[in-house]
Structure formats: structure tokens, C-alpha cells
Chain A
Amino acid sequence: MADTLPPTDRSCDISQPLERLSPDEALKAGSEYLRGTIALGLLDRITSAVPGDDIKLMKFHGIYQQDDRDVRDERRRQKLEPAFQFMIRVRLPGGICTTERWLKISELACAHGNETLRMTTRQTFQFHWVLKHNIVPVIRGLHEVLLDTVAACGDDSRGVMATVNPQFPALQAELAALAKTVSDHVIPKTRGYHEIWYGEERIASSEPEEPFYGRTYMPRKFKIGFVIPPNNDIDIYAQDLGYIAIAGKDGKIAGFNIAIGGGMGRTDKVPHTYPRTASVIGFITPDRLISVTEAVMGVQRDYGNRADRSRARFKYTIDDKGLDWIKLAIEDRAGLLEPARPYHFTSNADIYGWVESDDGYHHFTLFVENGRLNRDTLDKIARIAHVHKGHFRLTPNQNLMIANVATADKPKIDALLVGSGLIAFNEHSVLRLNSMACVAFPTCGLAMADSERYLPTLITKIEGILTRYNLQDEPITLRMTGCPNGCSRPFIAEIGLTGRAPGKYNLYLGGGFHGQRLNRLYRENIGEAAILEALDEVLRHYATERLPDEHFGDFTIRAGIIREVTEGRFSND
């Protein structure tokens, strides 16, 4: 079938010698399958950092070197190196967490993570503030409950997402299991992780260490997710590879529509970078899931741009080669795809409070502002974990679901929620409940402005505007990031804010309510007063001129306030 694939430009892909590609490719190739000098760097007591190349390699192990940016300048004057510490991201496919694992993670966060824990937009945990000498204890602690951090970052398949929607409990359970299977299948297989973190001996073997990835792994990160319509909680259009479950008449999964090429990141003032919503290219039956996943990732591995990292995501490969060519290349490897089946999304938000599923179980979704769990909250949730017989689910909106509570156990959980005061977490405005912020300052190295620390106060001010126009009950998605890389998926929010400099943000409008449409830059590099002024103006129009049930994002386009983005590559026009 290879003959049927039209020729394509291969000047920037894996077929080229390393010296023609980005330096990161040579780094990966020379890293002995991600080992580098990580083990040595951990022993260096003169610095709390690791050597430059190891910083990049450790990402593949789920570990980011960061520093406390609040004190960076102060410490420079004090002749102290930056307050380096590490963020460790757990691999938690589908966001499913047993109570045993919850308690272990909570304990590790209190012991080594500065008594704080972050639930992320990709349904996992992040430890922050972990000092170099505490990385091994954290990773070994996770290993005790059979968790790892492999490929939670790096140029590889990142944590695989799956809907937490309890509306279809059997489908959800099946999807969560598939997410785990796919994740286990596509993570790096190097034994370096075991050697560095568990202290295992290196075993000589004639088998290839990375049968799928090879020495240079993916051109960049690769994100996979599973969803069940109509709730698009995982933001399927933001995934490199999304599987939209299609239920059969028997109520079981008949197969999946395949969506490819979603991605959020862009770089300010670099027009050839842009967010892109995924394109649906066909349908497959469940038995083809692994082979299609390998085919899609294989196409990106082999044809993705390895010369220019700002163009290395799958979305650019698709736009550079053309969607039709990419589909051909996938079919060339995995066989023909069936035509996509109809589906329909209504929302990408969580449903808060108690929900009963048709299997008789109850599920409580707790709003956790920006996913941040402090010591007090961790202690309260731990008390629930000690009695809870079901499991926890981390939602893609950074919230927490106490899942699978039997009717008989519901009063006990309820009493703990009420008694601890956790229940009050859900007593917020609709706007706040539909908001998300990334971490940003002080720990994230990419941040240009505050996000998690600032969004709560900004929301309070926007709430005032909404109340003035009697819009306080209207769900509007609002997402903020501290930089344009898009961790909280701001480019598909109805109101998006991305940091440019301390106190300054780009304001985006016009995103789709359930994540189906990108927004567009409305005001650039503005401070709080200008943000509030702009929103006041637009919301005033919305209050008086909107159609019945018309979402805010749709209104801004219809009213001509912002021009619709039909495709990512046109979003900078």
C-alpha cells in the first residue's frame, strides 16, 4: 500500500541526519534512552538543579525542574542560586484514583511537596516544590501503590485522558480501562526509569529498548483522550488524537470516531504558530484501537517536523501535509477508516454535586478552585478516602469526583462533606464553576504573568459585571493561562486570557461553549482595568441583544464583535 502514498517533503523529519535537525533530536539520540547523566546529577550537593541536558531528559520521566520565581531576583542579589525545585507529574490514565493511591499521594505531598498538591487539566496530580533529594522518595512512594510518572511530560505520549461523566457508567468504566491500556502501550519502555528511580541494575539485553519510539522518540508531545458525547469534558478538540465513543444499540461501545490534530499552544508574535481544533477523519471498531493509535503516532513520529520545535506538534504536520494526505498515511498503516458516525456535544463543563447513575451508584463532584489542594483540604479529603468504598476521579476541569458511592454509604460521605465544610466549595457563581487557570507563578518556568493566583480575584470583579446585567446564572467558560502555551486550554474558551507580562494579558473572545471552536484575539497586552472595561462593554450587549439560549461565545460572533475562527491556521489572520 506504500506505493499509493503520494510523495511528500521529508527535509525536516526523522529521515534526516541529526545535524540537520533541532539540537533536541541529537540530545535524545545521545541520551542512552533517556538516561543521560540524571543519576549523577542527583548526587551533586553543590546545586539543587540538574545539568541542562538532564532537565530536558527528566521531562520524559515526568519531572520538570522549576524555581520559585517570586524570589529569583532576590536570591540572585543574595548570591544564592535560584530556589530550584521540581514538579513531578503522575501518570494517571483517565484520572482514576483508588482511595489507597489517594492517601499515598496525599501523604507524599505533605512530606515532600510543601503540603500542596495540584489536580491538572489532564486529570492527574502534580507535586510541586519537591527538592532534588526528595524526588527519589516521591517516585518510590508512588511505586509502592503501583503508580509511575513515565511520560507525564516529554516528547512522547502524555497522560491519556478519559471522560469522568457518570451518565453512562458502563461506557465510562470501559473507556477508563482503555485509556489505561493505551497509555501502558504507548509510553516509553526504557529501563532507565527503573535504574534511576528504583535503583535497579542495568540489564544487558539484545532486545531494542524502544521498539516503537526508537532513539529520538516523538518530535514533540502527543496527547490522547477518550470521550462520550454529549459531554465533551476532556475537550476532545484539543487532543492530538481523540477518540469519540459511539454507543451501539446494545448500549456497548460500537467504536470510535477519530479526531486528530488538536492542540493549544502558540507563540505570541509568531504567526506560523496557532491553536488548532481536531479534525474528525473517520470511525473504527474497538478492536482496531491499538493498531490505529500506533499508526497515527507512527505517522507523526516519521513525518513530524524535527527541525523546528515550534512547528513540531501533530497539528502542523497535518496542515503542512494536508489532512487528506495524513489520512492516507494512517490508512496506509492501519487499513481503511470507516466514515465518521454522527455525534453531538452540548458542554465541556463538570456537573457539580451529587449525580446518580443508572447502575444505582452516586457520584459527588467537588469544585476545587484551579485544582489546588492545600494541606487543610488534603486532610479533609483523606478522611473521606478512609471510609470511601468507591474511587476518586480527577476531572478534566481540575475538579474532584467522589465516584461509585453506594446508596447505603451516601449519608456517611455526605456527613463528611458537610461536617468538614468541603460542601461549601460548590457554592460559587456559575462563572467561577466554569473557570480554569493554569499554575503559572511562582513555580512554572514558562509563566509571564500570574494565573492561578490571580484568576480568583479577577472573577470576583467580573461577577460584579454579570450581576449588574443580570447574567449571573449564565454559564460562560473562562480560562486563563500565564503564557500562550495553553495548559488550561484557553483558546477554546468563550473568554480566554493568556499572560504577556506581569499584570498584562491577551483577551480572546468567541470560543465555542463546548470547546468546538477556537476564540480570537480581541484585545492585546492589557491590564485589569482594560480587561474589565472590554468585558463590561461586550457583556452589556450580550445581556440585551442575545437570542434565547444563545451562548456568549456564539453571540460575540453573531453580533460581529469578533470574527469567527474557522480553522486554527487562520486564527492569527
Chain B
Amino acid sequence: MTVSQFSGAALTAEQWRLVEALSSSLTPEHAYWISGYFAGIGSALLHKGTTAAQSPDTRISTAVVQAEPVAARSLTILHISETGNSTELAIRLAALAIEQGLNPTLVDIADYKVRKLKEEQDLLIITSTHGEGDPPQSGMEFFELIESRKAPALPELRYAILALGDMSYEHFCGAGKRLDERFEELGAKRLQPRIDCDVDYEELAAAWSSNILALLTAEKRAATSSAASQLETTGSTQQADNSAYGKRNPFPATVIDNIVLSGRGSTRETHHIEISLADSALTYEPGDALGIVANNDPVMVEALLTTLDMNPGTSLTVKGQVTTLFEALSKLFEITTATLRFLDHWGELTGTTDIFTAMDNVERAAFLHEHHIIDIIRAFPLKGLDPQRFIDGLRPLQPRLYSISSSLAICPDEAHITVAPVRYKLHGEIRSGVASSHLADRANADSILPVYIQSNPYFRLPPNGEPIIMIGAGTGVAPYRAFMQEREANGGGRSWLFFGERNFRVDFLYQTEWQDWLKNSILTKMDVAFSRDNAEKTYVQHRIHEHAHDVYAWLEEGAHIYICGDALRLAPDVHNTLVTVIEEQASVQREEAEEYLRNLQRDGRYQRDVY
């Protein structure tokens, strides 16, 4: 059934045209993602007692209805995503482009054929950055080629890059910067300068999108000398998105339970938190993440106010909203980790800019690593500062994502997450991760937690019950619990879990549940590695290598393979072990083994959720 055969929703012809144009550019994953996205909008609108048809924001000028898309330069929107932010922005951009009469092709880098690059005319790229200025895993192959001598000259290409990143990292937006430089070297022309976004990317990204679309539509109008009127749109997707529970409008969920999974004597403190989604109409798939809008630790807020000698009740205006300083520091701003921006800001305020500019990049990164905002303020104190000026140096507090460890099929109206709070000592004080400590210390049963669902179409159970090999360490085991619950309810093929942690006795997360699934053959095999039980440290990759023959046999039989957990050590170590396994078992060269894995990745059979 094609989209146009479906007529039950009584859409206008223009609405249909938009839907059809969008759907023709979608991969199956995107289509699926969007179905959930619109379901969310629908339920939210119903919730508000209104419907899409009555919403003035979605009225679209009839003038465009007759307008046929004009053959012009081709437009491709390419997204290179790790957590789904780039993808979400790209989808939104594509929808806007279609609304404005453009004809974009939306492509995930994982599905992109690099040889097509020579044929591209206008290319919009949204990329996030991973690790040491690297692209996300899905973009590795693309970067390898484009940065190699094999890269084609691109004199015909026009491009624009939106780079997502996190300012607290040394290689902020590194992937975007690398791509931008390289495209320039290859002779491509910028449509507009690259924009580098910090974690609060929404406004910048929206501006980048509308600027670029304005440019392209203006060009097209000029080219076709068509006087088709502008769409009477005021960002309908944006509006609709706000009315659903989502990142900008999180659902105030009730915490059902908060259990410490780590047994007595553990060096860990891993929490299992059950959250009620009842009455939210929020739904998710196994593999999705739960966005948590956390607050800062009140103790930290107090400490900051004391150090700054500021009155918590001071009235402030933040993005047009009046609030108190205490509220702003609790809920609106990141107040622990300092960014380069804050360092510059504080340097200016205190006249100590010289100290920071004297540092090279590495030294500055090291300084930021060792100094939180409060440490910088203590080291370079300033009395009588206007709170508004202080706030100006801060960046918005960002939600954090946690892989959901439950399935709606077994836990209707609930989402479970598995959280290991980040705690460490800095300057003689215990410091904690914002969200993880909120969850561990203050998300008690019956407390309210603002949440939303972050779809992750790149971490999905196989469509037809194909065998799965799940590899995870620590809290990385979370999505596999969701997978097992899903298969317990809906069936599926063979499954094999590799799990690693520190000590068998106290750190075997969800031990009795895996045992039950093994007993009922919902889980076929399980192998564990506990690194601190013996003098010799054993990790999951050692177990994978021990079972090389079977792992390879499963892959040959069509198994999908998953890695979840630590991005710095687990993911590369496991990846390298998998290459070795294939190399040994298939008796091929290392390059061929790597190619084997790349093919798996291209086919969606090798999926990673690493952080």
C-alpha cells in the first residue's frame, strides 16, 4: 500500500503532496521514526482538546498546491548521527524543505554511497562529533575516503555544514570542522559558513536551516521566475513538536521505584529506576533512549551562590521568562562543567583573560578538566557581580539520555533505566554528574521526573527475529534487557549475550532475570567476564575471542550484532576483537575482515550505542 492509497485521514491535497514528497525520500527507519513522531503529535493535540485541522499554524496556502516541483539543482541532506540529534534535525530540515517546494533527498551516512558524491550538486550535512574530534561510527568510512587521496575533486559541489558538539571537549565540533576544511580543499563551495553548535543547538540549528532554505528557495524562484507565494508557515513542525511531550516539553513522569542493583560490598552503585509513562501517550521501541531533564544538586547551587555572594531570590529574566536566580541555577543552566566560553567570559569579567590565553589548547582542556565553574570562581573571585552577567557565561542545562531497559510489551506504561552515577573527587570535594546523581540521589519513588523519548532507529531488534549477539558492559546491558523483554512477549530467534562488569557477586546486573530467560530459552547463550574477580583481568572481548568459532558461525547465519556501553575502551576493543575473530575464522586478511564488518554495518546488522 502506498501512502496515497490511504485516504481515511481526510487530508487536504496539499497535505497529501507533502506527505508523499516526504515519504519518497525516507528510509524504512526514518519512516518508522516519523510514524512515531506524528503519533506523538496526534496524541498531544488530542490531549489539548484540539486537532491538527483546527490548528491555524498548519494552514497552508493553496497557491502552492498546483505548483509542480521544478527540476533544478539536486539537493541532498546527509546526516551523521550518534545519538539521533543530527538525524532529528535533518528530518526536520527535509520536512521544511519539502514544505518550501524543494525536493531533497534525505540520507543517513550509513546508507550513503560515497561514489555518488561526485554527482551531488547541493549537499547539506549535519554531523555530530565523537571522541577525539572523530565522526560517529556510522561516518567513519565516509571520513576515511574523503580524507584520503582517493577522494574525488568536487568543483561542482555546493555545501553547508551544521556541526554539533560539546564545548567542554577539546575537539569541539571536530568532525564538522574536518569535513568543512576537506570539502574546501576538494574545490567545493560553501553555501554559507559552517555553524558550530554546543549542546544547546536548537536555536542555532533552526537559524542555519531557515537561512539555507531561504537561500535555496530564492534561487529556485529566480530560476523558474515563478511567483509562487511563500508558504504561510510558521514552522508547523516546530509548533506541533512543542505540543507533544518531547525534548522541549517533557512529560512530568512519576518515579515508581529506585533500586540499587549493586550488591553489598560493590565498588559500583548502579541504580534501576522505573518510571511511569501513564497518561503521557509516550511510546518507545526497545533500543530507544529516555531523555531526562535533570536538576542541579541543590547543595551545589547553594555552594555557588555562597561563593558568588549572591541572593538566591534575585529576580532574573531568562529567554523572556521571569524567574529567580536559585531556580535558574537549579533548572536552567549547566553549573558544574566549565566551557571555553565560560573561561573567556570569566576572564573578561575578572580581567584575568591573559592567564587563559597564555595556555595552549591542550593546557586549556586539561585546566577545564580539573576545574569546574565553582573552582574557577574560587580561584578568581569577583565580588558584587550582577547575577545576569554571571548567567550570560553559562550554557543551558541539557537533558541526558539513558538507554531504556524495558519493553512496553512487558512493562506497559513504564520505562526503566539503568544508571551508574558519576562521582569523583575534585579539589577535595565529591562531585557528581548532574543527571546521574539527580537520578541516584533524588529520584525517589513518587518523585516527579521530566522525561521524553529519544528515538534511536540505529539500535533495533532485527525485523524478522534473526539471531542476535548482544555485547555490553556495565549499564550498557540496559537495552538488552529491553530486547529480551520484547522477545519474551513477541518471540524471536536465537540470542547470545556477552556481559562484563567488575565483580560477579555484586555487579551482575539483572542476574536473576538473565537466568530466567536462559532457563526459558528466550536467551540462548550468555557469557560473562568479571574483571576484578581474578588477578588476571578478563573483559567481554576475551570471552568473544574464546567463542570465536561460534560467534563467526552466528554471523554467517545472519546474526545481528550489538555493542552498548563505554565508547572509549569497550567499543574499540570489542570491534578489534570482532575483526580478529573474522580474520581467524574466515582465514582472511585483516582488511577483508574489516570490510566484512563494514558490510554488516551497512546492512544494519552491526549496531552500536556507545557513550
Q: A46 contacts which of B261, B263, B272, B514 (Cβ < 8 Å)?
A: B514
A71 within 8 A of B: yes
Given contacts A46-B528, A48-B504, A83-B505, contact A78 B515 (CB under 8 A): no
- Say how far B501's CB is from chain A's closest CB, in angstroms: 12
- Establish whether residues A77 and B511, one from each chain, have CB atoms under 8 Å apart when the complex forms: no
Chain A binding surface, main DSSP class: loop
Q: A79 contacts which of B511, B526, B527 (Cβ < 8 Å)?
A: B511
- Say how far B483's CB is from chain A's closest CB, in angstroms: 17
- Establish whether residues A48 and B264, one from each chain, have CB atoms under 8 Å apart when the complex forms: no
By a CB distance below 8 angstroms, the chain B residues around A81 are 508, 511-512, 515
B339 within 8 A of A: no
By a CB distance below 8 angstroms, the chain A residues around B260 are 78
Residue-wise interface mask of B (250-279) relative to A, using a CB-CB cutoff of 8 A (1 in contact, 0 not): 000000000111111000000010000000
- Say how far A72's CB is from chain B's closest CB, in angstroms: 11
Residue-wise interface mask of A (67-104) relative to B, using a CB-CB cutoff of 8 A (1 in contact, 0 not): 00001001111111101000000000000000000000
A249 within 8 A of B: no
By a CB distance below 8 angstroms, the chain B residues around A78 are 259-263
Q: How far is the CA of A75 from the CA of B528 in the complex (A)?
A: 19
Residue-wise interface mask of B (524-564) relative to A, using a CB-CB cutoff of 8 A (1 in contact, 0 not): 00111000010000000000000000000000000000000
- Say how far B553's CB is from chain A's closest CB, in angstroms: 21
- Establish whether residues A79 and B272, one from each chain, have CB atoms under 8 Å apart when the complex forms: yes
- Establish whether residues A77 and B528, one from each chain, have CB atoms under 8 Å apart when the complex forms: no
B32 within 8 A of A: no
By a CB distance below 8 angstroms, the chain A residues around B263 are 71, 74-75, 78, 80, 83
B518 within 8 A of A: yes
The B-contacting residues of A in range 54-75, CB under 8 angstroms, are 71, 74-75
B185 within 8 A of A: no
- Establish whether residues A46 and B526, one from each chain, have CB atoms under 8 Å apart when the complex forms: yes
By a CB distance below 8 angstroms, the chain A residues around B272 are 79
- Establish whether residues B264 and A47, one from each chain, have CB atoms under 8 Å apart when the complex forms: no
B156 within 8 A of A: no
B510 within 8 A of A: yes
Q: How far is the CA of A531 from the CA of B85 in the complex (A)?
A: 70
- Say how far B266's CB is from chain A's closest CB, in angstroms: 10
Q: How far is the CA of A80 from the CA of B527 in the complex (A)?
A: 16
- Establish whether residues A74 and B264, one from each chain, have CB atoms under 8 Å apart when the complex forms: yes
- Establish whether residues A48 and B528, one from each chain, have CB atoms under 8 Å apart when the complex forms: no
By a CB distance below 8 angstroms, the chain B residues around A75 are 263
Q: How far is the CA of A376 from the CA of B272 in the complex (A)?
A: 39
By a CB distance below 8 angstroms, the chain A residues around B262 are 78
B111 within 8 A of A: no
By a CB distance below 8 angstroms, the chain A residues around B510 are 79
- Establish whether residues B511 and A80, one from each chain, have CB atoms under 8 Å apart when the complex forms: yes
**Who on chain A is nearest to B528 by CB?**
A45
- Say how far B545's CB is from chain A's closest CB, in angstroms: 15
For chain A, the count of residues having a C-beta within 8 Å of the partner chain is 16
By a CB distance below 8 angstroms, the chain A residues around B261 are 78-80
B506 within 8 A of A: yes
- Establish whether residues A46 and B505, one from each chain, have CB atoms under 8 Å apart when the complex forms: no
Given contacts A45-B527, A46-B518, A47-B515, contact A80 B259 (CB under 8 A): no
Residue-wise interface mask of A (154-170) relative to B, using a CB-CB cutoff of 8 A (1 in contact, 0 not): 00000000000000000
B202 within 8 A of A: no
The A-contacting residues of B in range 549-594, CB under 8 angstroms, are none
Q: How far is the CA of A492 from the CA of B506 in the complex (A)?
A: 42
- Say how far A359's CB is from chain B's closest CB, in angstroms: 48
B513 within 8 A of A: yes
Given contacts A79-B272, A83-B505, contact A46 B259 (CB under 8 A): no
Q: How far is the CA of A367 from the CA of B264 in the complex (A)?
A: 33
Q: How far is the CA of A292 from the CA of B243 in the complex (A)?
A: 91
Given contacts A45-B528, A48-B505, contact A80 B514 (CB under 8 A): no
Q: How far is the CA of A30 from the CA of B506 in the complex (A)?
A: 35
**Who on chain B is nearest to A78 by CB?**
B261
**Who on chain B is nearest to A131 by CB?**
B505
**Who on chain A is nearest to B534 by CB?**
A133
Q: How far is the CA of A131 from the CA of B505 in the complex (A)?
A: 9
Given contacts A45-B528, A46-B528, contact A79 B513 (CB under 8 A): yes
Q: How far is the CA of A15 from the CA of B260 in the complex (A)?
A: 55
- Establish whether residues A71 and B515, one from each chain, have CB atoms under 8 Å apart when the complex forms: no
- Establish whether residues A80 and B512, one from each chain, have CB atoms under 8 Å apart when the complex forms: yes
Q: How far is the CA of A131 from the CA of B264 in the complex (A)?
A: 16
Q: How far is the CA of A46 from the CA of B513 in the complex (A)?
A: 11
Q: How far is the CA of A334 from the CA of B533 in the complex (A)?
A: 55
By a CB distance below 8 angstroms, the chain B residues around A45 are 504, 527-528
- Say how far A549's CB is from chain B's closest CB, in angstroms: 52
- Say how far A468's CB is from chain B's closest CB, in angstroms: 41
By a CB distance below 8 angstroms, the chain B residues around A77 are 259
- Establish whether residues B264 and A79, one from each chain, have CB atoms under 8 Å apart when the complex forms: no
By a CB distance below 8 angstroms, the chain A residues around B504 are 45, 48
Q: How far is the CA of A131 from the CA of B534 in the complex (A)?
A: 12
- Establish whether residues B528 and A79, one from each chain, have CB atoms under 8 Å apart when the complex forms: no
By a CB distance below 8 angstroms, the chain B residues around A131 are 505
- Establish whether residues A80 and B528, one from each chain, have CB atoms under 8 Å apart when the complex forms: no
By a CB distance below 8 angstroms, the chain B residues around A46 are 511, 514-515, 518, 526, 528
Q: How far is the CA of A75 from the CA of B526 in the complex (A)?
A: 21
**Who on chain B is nearest to A49 by CB?**
B515
Q: How far is the CA of A318 from the CA of B466 in the complex (A)?
A: 64
- Say how far B410's CB is from chain A's closest CB, in angstroms: 14
- Say how far A22's CB is from chain B's closest CB, in angstroms: 26
Q: How far is the CA of A133 from the CA of B509 in the complex (A)?
A: 20
Chain A positions within 8 Å of B, measured between CB atoms, are 45-48, 71, 74-81, 83, 131, 133
CB-defined A-B contacts under 8 Å, sample of 20? A45-B504, A45-B528, A46-B518, A47-B515, A48-B504, A48-B505, A71-B263, A71-B264, A74-B264, A76-B512, A77-B259, A79-B259, A79-B261, A79-B272, A80-B261, A80-B263, A81-B508, A81-B515, A83-B263, A131-B505
Given A48-B504, A78-B260, A133-B533, 18 other A-B residues pairs in contact with their CB atoms under 8 A: A45-B527, A46-B511, A47-B515, A48-B505, A71-B263, A71-B264, A75-B263, A76-B512, A77-B259, A79-B259, A79-B261, A79-B510, A79-B511, A79-B513, A80-B261, A80-B508, A81-B508, A81-B511
Q: Which 4 A-B pairs have the closest CB atoms?
A: A79-B510, A80-B511, A79-B512, A80-B263
